[in-house]
Structure 1
Amino acid sequence: MTVAPAPLFDPTFLRKLDRLALLTRRAMAGDMQGERRSPRRGSSVEFADFRPYARGDDIRQIDWNLYARMERFFLKLMVAEEELTIHLLLDNTASMDWGEPNKLLYARRVAAAFGYIALSSLDRVTVTALAAGKGQQLPSVRGKRGALPLFDFIQKLPGGAGGNLQATAKRYVQTARNVGPLLLCSDLMDPEWKEALRTLTARPFEITVVHTLAPQELRPDIDGDFRLLDAEGGPALEITADLEVLRQYDEHLREWRAEIESFCSGRGINYIFADTAVPVEDFVLGNLRRRGALR
């Protein structure tokens, strides 16, 4: 008998997510009316501009106060509020399916929370997996009704395969229909991570990278002789873990993280580090808000 996966969130956390919204740095044109500012003019509650009345216009849009002053008909234009497409890229390669707490499970929950918040604002959400041979995609869903297929897709997404982050990024920028906020959840343990992020900036996505690492990677508690195996098929490495080796590891790790953050900062990418030891609820309600991804 197949056991159903545990729910991603409890009802209390979902109610907290209902009170959040995505932050975007600029208005983008969507396809349907939602709750996001658009560069187009439409019908909403926020004033944008006036224009002279022309035959055939809706007389309900006439500003009668302005007519009383100028004795000419003008239409009041409002800022259109339209949906965005929110792009979730979820790294489900073998290196992510590791650690305690597990990196892939953590990334699943972060992506699902981000997507749920977008759906609550009537935005459109699509999810793409990064693993080779498992590059599944959830066609875009919209509104609260999209939460169930979103959660179901993310929960059932398999892990454990290899992948090419650069190839996936290139394919994505060539095929994505609409730009919008893009969330990439990954450990970035790909030698071509720079090329992949640079490729994503070829189109005007608003990119947020959630760099996900496990405590065992950040603070390895090992001693003695070890044979390290590459989860994605690279050559094995034999090491002797002593204080000096661990010191060098920590130094290189800090340099690598600083390099990624600097690279992202120079290209307008919002870099947010995630230690899976931090509860997902605290990360979403705290870190994502402090770093300007949510409000």
Structure 2
Amino acid sequence: MRPPAALLERLNTTRLLPSAAQPSVGIGERRSQRKGPGMEFVDHRPYQPGDDTRHLDLHLYARTGDFMMREYSLNQQLPVTIVLDLSPSMTIGRGEKSDRSRQLAQLLGFTALVGGDRVQVIVPEGDQLLVSDRWHGATRAEPMFDWISRASASETLEFPKTLSRLPEHLPPRGMVIVISDWWDAGVEPALDSLAAHGQELLGIQVLSPVEIDPAAMTSGTVTLEDAETGDEIELPVDAALLNRYRQLFAARQAHIEAQFNRRQWHFITVATEDDLTGLFTHTLRARGILS
């Protein structure tokens, strides 16, 4: 599985637009809050024993008699971590949710790479987290595409527990992109934990059209099976049930969006049938997620 070449070409100049995450690793293209070797002068500070005397401002010393060090802006990479949920609820049917989630991970990862950022991918696997290499630079896109394509679906921890274990694998003040159906309840403590760790979270919810609006379901009694537990339940499908589902779905969406909004994070729902080109060239830009 590889993203369409034409779409990758259009994304070559696209960049992630973090609102709180900070560049903090390596040498990259984003101005860091840290100071260090660089080209653009930003400030002076007093000389301290052990400082590199090549950065002493001799002109300032000649005027004031004070030993002052010239400080420069430091350009670094934004650490981007993509969490790809491949649990059973993502692989039901013909695997449309899983396939679309992999495509989204590849495209978002590519956007980070061409923007000079550092990318790693995490896939929950059983009670462990499978962590990829860290990639940097557009030339590493193919290994990233391959890793995401080969990542296998498996039984996994409950989603909130997966999220709560992420901070131990993350550099501080990075950007975390979580691609899942976000059906699990009780994610708020995990979101609090990520916020406390200084992470900025982008939530991508991938749903099938029937999950968004089950109007296409056949009337009559249907048997539904929980993909995570195997539990089954029989339900009579009628107009009243469909209306009730829509109400609960809208309330669920409003609740999780509120959790993200109050932390000034982004949350977006993507249907498996949505056009990827429109999503990346229009929708995500309009939401202020991509440049």
TM > 0.5 fold call: yes
Q: Count how many residue pairs are aligned between Structure 1 and Structure 2.
A: 287
Q: Could you tell me which of 130, 137, 141 is aligned with 1:136?
A: 130
What is the deviation of 1:134? 6.9
Q: Deviations over 1:203-244 (max 9, x none)?
A: 101111012211011122111110101111142111111111
Counterpart of 1:214 in structure 2 is 208
1:202 corresponds to 2:201:
no
Counterpart of 1:36 in structure 2 is 30
Q: Could you tell me which of 85, 88, 93 is aligned with 2:87?
A: 93
Q: Deviations over 1:3-32 (max 9, x none)?
A: xxx42x122211111111111224735232
- Cα 1:56/1:219, change in 2 over 3 Å: closer
Counterpart of 1:3 in structure 2 is none
Q: Does structure 2 retain, via aligned residues, the 8 Å contact 1:95–1:160? A: no
Q: Does structure 1 retain, via aligned residues, the 8 Å contact 2:176–2:202? A: yes
Helix, strand or coil at the partner of 1:281:
helix
Within-5 A mapping of 1:1-295 = 6-7=1-2, 9-26=3-20, 28=22, 30-51=24-45, 56-58=52-54, 76-98=70-92, 102-132=96-126, 135-220=129-214, 221-222=216-217, 223-295=219-291
What is the deviation of 1:43? 4.1
CA RMSD of aligned residues (A): 2.7
Helix, strand or coil at the partner of 1:130:
strand
Q: Deviations over 1:47-89 (max 9, x none)?
A: 4224478885336x8597x899989997653321011211111
Report the Cα distance in structure 2 between the residues aligned to 1:263 and 1:27, rounded to whole angstroms: 18
Q: Does structure 2 retain, via aligned residues, the 8 Å contact 1:99–1:215? A: no
What is the deviation of 1:101? 7.8
Residue ranges of structure 1 left out of the alignment (5+ in a row): 1-5
Report the Cα distance in structure 1 between the residues aligned to 2:99 and 2:40, rounded to whole angstroms: 41
**TM-score normalised to the size of structure 1?**
0.86
Q: Does structure 2 retain, via aligned residues, the 8 Å contact 1:86–1:124? A: yes
What is the deviation of 1:145? 3.0
% identity of equivalent residues? 28
What is the deviation of 1:166? 2.1
Report the Cα distance in structure 2 between the residues aligned to 1:290 and 1:261, rounded to whole angstroms: 17
Report the Cα distance in structure 1 between the residues aligned to 2:281 and 2:79, rounded to whole angstroms: 22
Q: Does structure 1 retain, via aligned residues, the 8 Å contact 2:126–2:156? A: yes
Query: 179-188 or 49-58, which moves further after superposition?
Result: 49-58
Report the Cα distance in structure 2 between the residues aligned to 1:284 and 1:142, rounded to whole angstroms: 21
Residue ranges of structure 2 left out of the alignment (5+ in a row): none
**TM-score normalised to the size of structure 2?**
0.87
Helix, strand or coil at the partner of 1:136:
strand
Report the Cα distance in structure 2 between the residues aligned to 1:292 and 1:96, rounded to whole angstroms: 27
What is the deviation of 1:256? 0.6
Report the Cα distance in structure 2 between the residues aligned to 1:214 and 1:40, rounded to whole angstroms: 43
